[in-house]
Amino acid sequence: MLSVEEATRLVAATIRPLPAEYLSLPLALGRVLREPLYADRDFPPFNRVAMDGIALRYAALAEGQTEFLIEHTQFAGQPPRPLQDPNAAVEIMTGASLPEGADTVIRYEDLVIRTDEAGRRLALVQVGAPRAGHNVHAQAADRHHGDLLLPAGTVLGPAELAVGATVGAATVAVTRRPRVAVVSTGDELVPITQQPEPHQIRRSNGLMLQAAAQQAGAETAGFHFNDDPEALRLGLPALLADYDAVLLSGGVSKGKADFLPQTLRELGVEQLFHEVQQRPGKPFWFGKQPGGAVVFALPGNPVSTFVNFYRYARPWLLAVQQPTATATLAAGSPVPAVLAQEVQFKPKLTHFLLVSLEHGPDGRLLAYPERAGGSGDQASLLPSQAFLELPPEQEVFPVGSVLPAWRFR
């Protein structure tokens, strides 16, 4: 039986970057950037006024001048008009380009503006500026023309889209979404719209896997097969050919209706492993169709399906969206958490323990084990936020143990 570490290595060995496609920037939310974006000009591109008020020459203030004639008013988006008189000022609005000849802005709150008998507008400075450049966001203060802003591999969120728009990246190269077929199996499963008989249950694993894969950036389609080898032999080949990954739930253990391992091998899928030294999810089957899909055949108990997806399939989905062949399962790596209650687990298996998380007084993440009724206890996922990975060589895990936590919310 394979260790979790060896299973992880074999899954990682199948990672191949998916091809790129070009999308309009507004459609690229959540996608992985394949080509870096650079600043096409300075950030900001001009000396940008940071407050509404007047623009003037700091030297005039330093020499003791307190009242300034307002030559004209300038708004954001208008070409700047230079200051004509070095002892005058320009009334100016936030976002405007600082006029030539001015180097400082005094905000309205520190001014009194009046109109004299001749109709001229004058600004009396009540609170001076501490230095030249006050309330001015200097050109190139943030980034210079040509600076790298977004490296390849960046997931495009709202902030990244804003930066892309700022540099005029109307179209961006992103990784094509992974195409994932989600397959539930079992005679006992009925559609969620159907009232089950006492001996039946609704198809929940398929919906869960589709939702989780979509959160990882995939496009999904759902399918169901009863425990019928012939139906599997007829239905699976198209999925293996048309999708990047096939996620199956159920039918992989040693029962008389668990036909998937044999059927997959008959269809030419290379079995890379079957059964992992772990709980839950020991019967996990993994393989690769030459020239086709990677196959994650997960045990059918809901917690087993859930945990194995987040431990193996989600990191794989994230990794294949990265731009280089050196991408690894680190894209879905765990975070360290401190065990808040002692745990004992005697079987020589890696144990995935459902926990809730909170930050302790020192800022470290504390993990509290949640009560679970076994791998069929779907409701135990509700209060949990992660699962800890407990190594097989240890039976007692005292309070304070630092362990990897795989977060799913």
Claim to verify: residue 322 and residue 396 sit in the same structural domain = no
Claim to verify: residue 152 and residue 288 sit in the same structural domain = no
- In this structure, is the dihedral angle defined by the CA atoms of residues 298, 231, 216 and 153, taken in order, positive or negative? positive
pTM beyond 0.85: the answer is: yes
The pLDDT profile of the chain, 409 residues, written as one tens digit per residue, is 899 999 999 999 999 999 999 999 999 999 999 999 999 999 999 999 999 999 999 999 999 999 999 999 999 999 999 999 999 999 999 999 999 999 999 999 999 999 999 999 999 999 988 999 999 999 999 999 999 999 999 999 999 999 999 999 999 999 999 999 999 998 888 888 999 899 987 888 899 999 999 999 999 999 999 989 999 999 999 999 999 999 999 988 888 778 999 999 999 999 999 999 999 999 999 999 999 899 999 999 999 999 999 999 999 999 999 998 666 666 668 999 999 999 999 999 999 999 999 999 999 999 999 988 888 888 899 999 999 999 999 999 999 999 999 999 9
Q: What's 96's DSSP letter?
A: P
Claim to verify: residue 236 and residue 310 sit in the same structural domain = yes
Q: Are strands 343-344 and 335-339 parallel, antiparallel or unpaired?
A: unpaired
Phi, psi angle pair for 50, to nearest 5°: -100, -10
Domain boundary among 137, 165, 200: 137
Claim to verify: residue 213 and residue 114 sit in the same structural domain = no
CA distance 396 to 390: 10
Domain that holds residue 185: 4-18+177-328
Claim to verify: residue 277 and residue 237 sit in the same structural domain = yes
Claim to verify: residue 156 and residue 32 sit in the same structural domain = yes
Task: List the beta bridge partners of residue 32.
Answer: 155
Question: What pLDDT score was predicted for residue 327?
Answer: 60
Domain count, the chain: 4
Claim to verify: residue 166 and residue 249 sit in the same structural domain = no
Question: What pLDDT score was predicted for residue 16?
Answer: 93
Q: Which two tokens stand for residue 71?
A: 């030559």
In 3-state terms the chain splits into helix, strand, coil percentages (rounded to 5) of: 20, 30, 45
Claim to verify: residue 285 and residue 389 sit in the same structural domain = no
**Model confidence over 137-174: pLDDT tens digits?**
999 999 999 999 999 999 999 999 999 999 999 999 99
Claim to verify: residue 275 and residue 403 sit in the same structural domain = no
CA distance 73 to 84: 13
CATH classification of the domain holding 360: 2.40.340.10
CATH classification of the domain holding 162: 3.90.105.10
CATH classification of the domain holding 322: 3.40.980.10
CATH classification of the domain holding 81: 2.170.190.11
Q: Is the separation of the CB atoms in 303 and 309 below 8 Å? A: no
Claim to verify: residue 240 and residue 280 sit in the same structural domain = yes
**Model confidence over 212-246: pLDDT tens digits?**
999 999 999 999 999 899 999 999 999 999 999 99
Question: What pLDDT score was predicted for residue 187?
Answer: 83
Claim to verify: residue 267 and residue 362 sit in the same structural domain = no
Which among 276, 247, 106, 120 is positioned nearest to 184, based on CA atoms?
A: 247
Claim to verify: residue 188 and residue 130 sit in the same structural domain = no
Phi-psi map region of 165: left, alpha, beta (phi>0 left; psi -120 to 50 alpha): alpha
CA distance 135 to 104: 7
Instruction: Report the Cα 256 to chain-centroid distance in Å.
Output: 41
CA distance 336 to 342: 16
**Apex 361 CA angle, 355 and 362, nearest 5:** 95
| Full DSSP string of 185-236 | E-TTEE-TTSPPPTT-EE--HHHHHHHHHHHTT-EEEEEEE-S-HHHHHHHH
Question: What pLDDT score was predicted for residue 128?
Answer: 85
